[in-house]
Amino acid sequence: MPRVLIVEDDPDVRMAVQLALRHQGHEVYAAATGEEGLHALRPFRPDVVVLDIMLPGMSGLDVCRRIRTHDQVPIIMVTAKGDDIDIVVGLEAGADDYVVKPVQARVLDARIRAVLRRHDPAPSDSVRPRAESHGDLVIDRTGLQVSHRGEPVALAPSELRLLLVLSASPGQVFSRQQLLEAVWEHSYHGDIRLVDACVKRLRGKLGELGGSPRYIQTVRGFGYRFGPQ
> Within this chain, do residues 49 and 130 fall inside the same structural domain, yes or no?
no
Q: Read off the CATH number of the domain in which 134 is found.
A: 1.10.10.10
> Within this chain, do residues 137 and 177 fall inside the same structural domain, yes or no?
yes
Domain final position from 117, 152, 177: 117
CB of 225 closer than 8 Å to CB of 166 = yes
> Within this chain, do residues 135 and 214 fall inside the same structural domain, yes or no?
yes
pTM score of the predicted model: 0.80
pLDDT tens, residue by residue, 38-83: 999 999 999 999 999 999 999 999 999 999 999 989 999 998 866 6
Q: Read off the CATH number of the domain in which 9 is found.
A: 3.40.50.2300
Q: According to the model, what pLDDT value does residue 81 have?
A: 65
> Within this chain, do residues 80 and 28 fall inside the same structural domain, yes or no?
yes
Q: According to the model, what pLDDT value does residue 84 have?
A: 75
Identify which has the larger pLDDT, 77 or 131. 77
> Within this chain, do residues 46 and 80 fall inside the same structural domain, yes or no?
yes
C-alpha–C-alpha distance, residues 70 and 139, integer Å: 21
> Within this chain, do residues 211 and 171 fall inside the same structural domain, yes or no?
yes
User: Residue 156 sits in which domain range?
Assistant: 123-226
Q: According to the model, what pLDDT value does residue 125 have?
A: 47
> Within this chain, do residues 132 and 222 fall inside the same structural domain, yes or no?
yes
Of 31-35, 90-94, 115-119, 137-141, the poorest mean pLDDT is in 115-119
Cis geometry, peptide bond prior to residue 102 (ω within 30 degrees of 0): yes
Q: According to the model, what pLDDT value does residue 82 have?
A: 62
pLDDT confidence bin for 103, thresholds 50/70/90 = confident
Q: According to the model, what pLDDT value does residue 52 have?
A: 95
Is residue 123 classed exposed, middle or buried when 0-12, 13-18 and 19+ CB atoms within 10 A define those classes?
exposed
> Within this chain, do residues 86 and 180 fall inside the same structural domain, yes or no?
no
Number of domains the chain contains: 2
Any bridge partners for residue 76, and if so which? 50, 97
Domain final position from 102, 117, 132: 117
> Within this chain, do residues 108 and 212 fall inside the same structural domain, yes or no?
no
Mean pLDDT (whole number) for 1-29? 94
Sheet holding 131-134, edge to edge: 131-134, 137-140, 145-148, 151-152
CB of 203 closer than 8 Å to CB of 213 = yes
> Within this chain, do residues 79 and 145 fall inside the same structural domain, yes or no?
no
> Within this chain, do residues 91 and 52 fall inside the same structural domain, yes or no?
yes
> Within this chain, do residues 113 and 7 fall inside the same structural domain, yes or no?
yes
Identify which has the larger pLDDT, 133 or 209. 133
pLDDT confidence bin for 229, thresholds 50/70/90 = low
Domain final position from 117, 146, 173: 117
Mean pLDDT (whole number) for 93-112? 90
